[in-house]
Structure 1
């Protein structure tokens, strides 16, 4: 079970991932080379499934699976790209600036996820496993 941990200097900007399964989902996504490449590709702009597939030479079925994994882990956000033609497409935008995984002095694993800064909020998630 993951435990609650907050940072003293920025407690108002910190939310905690409590469920170990959520942390595992995040780690599974980051362990996948294709997922990391997709995160890199969406660093500057949101991409459609087709754009991701073509950029990384992935079959569409694999691309959908990877995007689902990243979305469920909270690393990407699915939204709609509005087109004048009326044929709207789903696009995927990166939600995080960085993820830091570290080991504490007692062997606990700490996962820090810094959300992208938006006008509405800037949030960091911290989870400590193995206290």
Structure 2
């Protein structure tokens, strides 16, 4: 899974593939990842800012941010700087996750996407 996004009309994305479910749940089980999720609920933050707020080594922060980005919980953006030294910042992409079990589909995770936070100096990474 490379990023979960809401379906048409803001409908939650349903994950039914076992590997996707395990990847997301494994990430959410990690206390460092949960700390990063909590830190990004109200604003987009750089890895350095996340490292400071979550009291994590910078190398661990980058590893956890990569995991969270890979499963679609965070999105990487570019924070523009007047000095020309732009940096990546990370913003929370989910509003809620719902786990359900049904006889036809088995285990299903539904992810609702949050409207992304964006500062005046942010751009989506890779955007023109």
TM-score, normalising length: structure 2 = 0.74
Name which of 60, 67, 77 aligns with 2:65.
Answer: 67
**Greater CA deviation, 80-89 or 93-102?**
93-102
Q: Describe the shift of the 1:64–1:57 C-alpha distance in structure 2 as closer, same or farther (beyond 3 A).
A: same
Name which of 113, 119, 124 aligns with 2:111.
Answer: 113
Residues paired across the two proteins, number: 109
Q: Describe the shift of the 1:14–1:43 C-alpha distance in structure 2 as closer, same or farther (beyond 3 A).
A: closer
Query: What is the match of residue 42 of structure 2?
Result: 44
1-structure distance, mates of 2:88, 2:52? 15
Unaligned regions of 5+ residues in structure 1, if any?
A: 1-9, 119-131
SS at match of 1:43: coil
RMSD, aligned α-carbons? 2.3
Q: What does residue range 5-20 of structure 1 map to in structure 2 within 5 Å?
A: 13-20=11-18
2-structure distance, mates of 1:23, 1:113? 11
2-structure distance, mates of 1:73, 1:79? 16
1-structure distance, mates of 2:59, 2:36? 15
TM-score, normalising length: structure 1 = 0.73
Ranges of 4+ aligned residues in structure 1 off by more than 4 Å? none
Tell me which structure has the larger Cα radius of gyration: 1
SS at match of 2:89: strand
1:20: how far off?
A: 2.2
Query: What is the match of residue 76 of structure 2?
Result: 78
- Show CA shifts across 1:63-116 (max 9, x none): 01100010001000011000111111100000001112234478x323121111
- Contact map agreement 2:13 2:110 (CA 8 A) in 1: no
